[in-house]
Amino acid sequence: MSFQLLGLFVAFATSEAAKMVPIPNQQDSIVNLLANVPKPSESKAKATEMETMVMLLAQQAKLARKQSQGADGNVTELVTQIKAELKKMEEEVLKAAGVADGACQESFANLSVGCPLYSGNTTFLPEGFTGDFSPLRSAHTACRTEIVGKKQELDACKSSRESLISLEQTLTTEFSGINIFESPEECAVKGDDVLLYLGSMRDHFKNKQLAWWKTYYRLENVTQNITQWNCTDKEIEYFEKISACQAAQLELEETACQVHERTNESCASLPACYEAKWSNYLIEVTASNKTIQDLKYEYRAIKRIGCLLEAFSAADMDAAIDACIAERHSAAAVRSQCVDSHAGIEKPSFVTPEVCAGGLQSILHPSDPNFNETEYAAYGIEANKCLASCCTIDWYSWSTFNNAFVTQDHYMVDADTGRVAAFGTMEEAKSACEMMGSVLCFGIYDTKCDGASEESPVKLIKAPGLDLESVKESSIGSCVLRMKLGSETTVTTTIAQFCSYEVNVSRTDVDPSAVWKTYHVEKQEYGEVFRFSGCANAELDEAAECVASGVSNGVRVLKNRHGQAVGTGVCCASATNTVLTTTPIQCDGFADNYTKFEKVYLPATKLIRGTTYSNMASAREACLRMGHKCWGIFDDKCDTVNVMLVDGYIGVTAGTFRNSSQSSCIFQKEAV
């Protein structure tokens, strides 16, 4: 309600008060209500308050008329002014309803605008790439195969050259022994016969000549052959081929990175776009509906005010006012087509490409732990570490060696300050060591093996460092964090031979995130990876049902990383399967279950050096992986933090346990 309208009401309440002779207290309350009305009504509460005030005014008018014994006050001018103001207010309400409906309609029209439209077979490939990795794989494999030949040629060349050089040295020594002018005094021929002497001399030097030239020519021939066996070109070819193979590997991995990144980004943005549009539409519908409902209340209040104003000039004002109070005015004119039709609007659907539903099957992500195995090791290829843009590479790895005592002469000293290089946080210490590299920094010494702090900082160990195999055992539990160039490797090479797995699988046409089926796969390698790859329509019995139902492609096949079928999924139609989890249940006759022994401990000689794990889950995984090599797990504080593995090859039994004064505990891995 505008301030002009409020002013008219106030004027009416004050100038006409004497004519209507209202009850003083009631008249004052009406004036106070009208004077304190907020700005133009925007809510149900404000509209209700406005309507209540006018109804009080009508009741006051009736009381005034009764008390003045039917005398009419002059309200014609006031009514005329208020009617004009009410007309403007009604127009503003209808205009506001139109604005709210327009905003809602615009949001509805934009439900699919700007969102990508894909088909079921849409792929997200970099420009110029067809999606077939076979040429890249073949080029890389062929290059690696040629490296073997180049290496053999280089080794053969070097071997031949070294053999010739050795022969040259032998012949040179032999020739040096022949290439000597003999003194006549050394002649063994004695006597006075000159002809006999000359004949002996001729025979002797003729034999010497033959031996001299024979050795000379042999030495000359070997020397010439050595010159011909120049291996520099072959060595250059060998290293050029290595560079070419590294480039081929990088191209394969970089392409895989781009395909995975583009696929992940596109698949993530597809539902996100439609969800955002739908969410914005719902918000707009809710806001528009609230606005329309508020405007309806305001519209009814305006209509009732108009009715009351008409009643003031009616012949029977009392009856007219009563009729206005009883009447329920319609607000049908205030509406939003968008809000009214919302109940029948369904959330827009979109086509999800198969690659989004089932994941990229053509190649693993280069940073996947099994990428090297599936792409290289399985084919006998010794590849380099991944240097593609999406690979996460740790240039340095850290291994913890417990119970290692380090003397001060191994501490690194800061050349500028002359002080021991010590740090209050482990992150700072590792960063400093990695900055210097493994040539200068061997690792970190933690006196109490409890991490770094300002009160107990850790110290850097200078290179070449320690012999960790023969270092003295610490009496206070000190440890050394060894830094090495390259990714971390397992301390022991012992690997479980066969494991049984539990593989949980989903299907896209039911619930992609829920377990649809659980497979129990026996006699697989440790660290095996399973995924659905390709279809079969003839080799597997399960395919017959799919073919009979009209799916000519047969059934989807669950394979290990060597391509061996270990299970089947749904028919090869629109639905796909995805491996959700892969869990080793038991390996080499040992299950992932442990028997706990409390308040006992084992000496360091019974533990596998360098096998400290920050949590029990990592330790259990490593122990299961090692098969018979790992007997169990030792927890020195029984808090499941910083635990070590127990050596399985040194005959650990319950009889070898020692009583612990600090509540240590031991976990024995259970045999199946």
pLDDT tens digits, one per residue of 295-337 = 988 888 888 888 887 887 778 878 888 888 788 888 888 998 8
Confidence at residue 51, expressed as pLDDT on a 0 to 100 scale: 61
Confidence at residue 52, expressed as pLDDT on a 0 to 100 scale: 67
Confidence at residue 539, expressed as pLDDT on a 0 to 100 scale: 65
Secondary structure of residue 646 in the 3-state scheme: strand
Confidence at residue 181, expressed as pLDDT on a 0 to 100 scale: 65
The pair of structure tokens assigned to 474 is: 């610490």
Task: List, as one string, the DSSP characters of 465-528.
Answer: ---TTTPPBPSS--EEEEEEESS---S-----S-EEEEEEEEETTT-TTS--EEEEEEEE-TT-
Confidence at residue 75, expressed as pLDDT on a 0 to 100 scale: 55
Confidence at residue 99, expressed as pLDDT on a 0 to 100 scale: 92
The yes-or-no verdict on residue 528 having pLDDT over 80 is no
Q: What is the DSSP letter of 413?
A: B
The yes-or-no verdict on residue 11 having pLDDT over 50 is no
Residue 556, phi then psi, degrees to nearest 5: -75, 145
* pLDDT above 70 as % of the chain: 81
Asked if 75 contacts 16 with a C-beta cutoff of 8 angstroms, the reply is: yes
Confidence at residue 506, expressed as pLDDT on a 0 to 100 scale: 94
Confidence at residue 597, expressed as pLDDT on a 0 to 100 scale: 92
Three-state secondary structure string covering 299-326: HHHHHHHHHHHHHHCCCCHHHHHHHHHH
Mean pLDDT of 553-568: 82
- Confidence label for 203 from pLDDT (cuts 50, 70 and 90): confident
Residue 34, phi then psi, degrees to nearest 5: -65, -35
The yes-or-no verdict on residue 33 having pLDDT over 50 is no
Q: Which of 42-46, 190-194, 241-245 has the lowest mean pLDDT?
A: 42-46
Confidence at residue 10, expressed as pLDDT on a 0 to 100 scale: 41
Residues 6+ apart with CB under 8 A from 147: 238, 241, 242, 245
pLDDT tens digits, one per residue of 241-264 = 888 888 899 899 999 999 998 888
pLDDT tens digits, one per residue of 154-164 = 888 878 777 77
* pLDDT above 90 as % of the chain: 13
- Confidence label for 70 from pLDDT (cuts 50, 70 and 90): low
The yes-or-no verdict on residue 98 having pLDDT over 70 is yes
